[in-house]
Amino acid sequence: MAPRVMSADSHMDLIYLPTDTFTSRMAARWGDAAPHVVERDGRKWWVSRESTLGPYGVYGPGVTGGKRGRILAEAGFATGKQTRPSNPVERREDQERDGVEAEVIYGIIGISRGLFGTGGIADHETLAAVYHAYNQYVAEFNQTEPGRYYGLGCLPNHDGKLAAEELRHCAGLGLHGAVIVPWGAAMPVWHEMWEPLWAAAEDTGLVISFHVFEGGGATVGYEVKGVRHPAVVGSWTVVAPMQMDEICVSVILSGVCERHPRLRLVLGESGIGWLPYILERLDDTYEERLADDLQLPLPPSAYFKRQIYATFQKDFHGVRAMAAIAPDNVMWGSDYPHRDGTWPFSRKAIEEQFRGVDAAIQRKMLWENVRRVYRIER
């Protein structure tokens, strides 16, 4: 019998949102700062004031390249007209095709820095208002298919107190968690300015998620020092998941997890194959060099096992290693509808990487862990 599957890492994205997502939920005083769609030279774009935020209805440059790209194109993801991810009926059809029962859905995490080399929303007040409106939208979207869609909220990353306030707003909307972008944040996650956010997360019971995004590395990306090259973009695509090592280690060694034992943190789309080495090195380095200064009551890896969780799509060796080290701390995700994911081949991807793995471990990584972490009861 096929295992029950819930994706711990799926996406909505600005490019697929209804055109009135923000204009219908932001006060009139925001005017053309509210993200809206305009047409230029036969193509549609999301804009905010003078900033171009990204394309409408088209997932990124080169979407039709490769096997997955061709399938995405055939499914309508490259037309600039269809927006299946934000259509609850079509999205359900896509998930049923893929064998996925339910999803944790990440939102507009790229809007602060732009998508695929475009600009973003630099004004902090505007960005906070845009996130506030999106959070209302995704709460409504979740209710179109109760038990299937668990869209996360988005938090401003320029002020810890404002992030905490927005997290409480998310809790009031019935969301199960929210994502904050550490790349380009006012201060790194180890800084004390984020204490109000960690405290609010404990109070509300909501999960705080991070997610890979261009910006963690200085030498690779969509554009580096004004230059674009396929090998540079490809290099970033390969190494991006491991950007999460800094986040993982920082929240442990800075005492965030010690001070907030009920805080739950997720490393979104981080992959898991690198975790065994990092956890081993973390404990060893702490014992040999850091214990006198930091004086943590527990070994660093114990905080990971207690409070931190990571998602993966395809990670054959990582599944086996983490099955032995921390099977309760990893969660599979399809990354729908992104090219880096497994849709619509998730059944095949799951079968291949879990072949020979104990059924109890499969249930944890494919279904039980994500529902426990996000406190999904039904």
pLDDT along the chain (378 residues), means of 10: 92 94 98 96 91 83 69 76 90 96 94 71 95 98 97 97 98 98 89 97 98 65 77 73 86 96 97 95 92 95 98 97 98 92 94 96 98 93
Cα–Cα distance, 198 to 263 (Å, whole number): 7
Contact 331, 310 (CB under 8 A): yes
Coil, strand or helix at 304: helix
Domain boundaries, the chain: 6-17+99-373
CATH 3.40.640.10 is the classification of domain 6-17+99-373: no
Cα–Cα distance, 318 to 273 (Å, whole number): 4
Give residues with Cβ within 8 angstroms of 227, minimum separation 6.
Answer: none
- What's the start-to-end Cα distance of the chain, in Å? 21
The single-letter code of the amino acid at 119 is G
Cα–Cα distance, 40 to 298 (Å, whole number): 57
DSSP state of 224: B
The predicted structure's pLDDT at residue 131: 98
Cα–Cα distance, 378 to 371 (Å, whole number): 9
Burial classification of residue 29, based on how many CB atoms lie within 10 Å of its CB (0-12 exposed, 13-18 middle, 19 or more buried): exposed
Nearest partner of 25 among 138, 105, 112, 109, judged by Cα: 138
Q: What is the largest CA-CA distance in the chain?
A: 63
Q: What is the pTM of this model?
A: 0.92
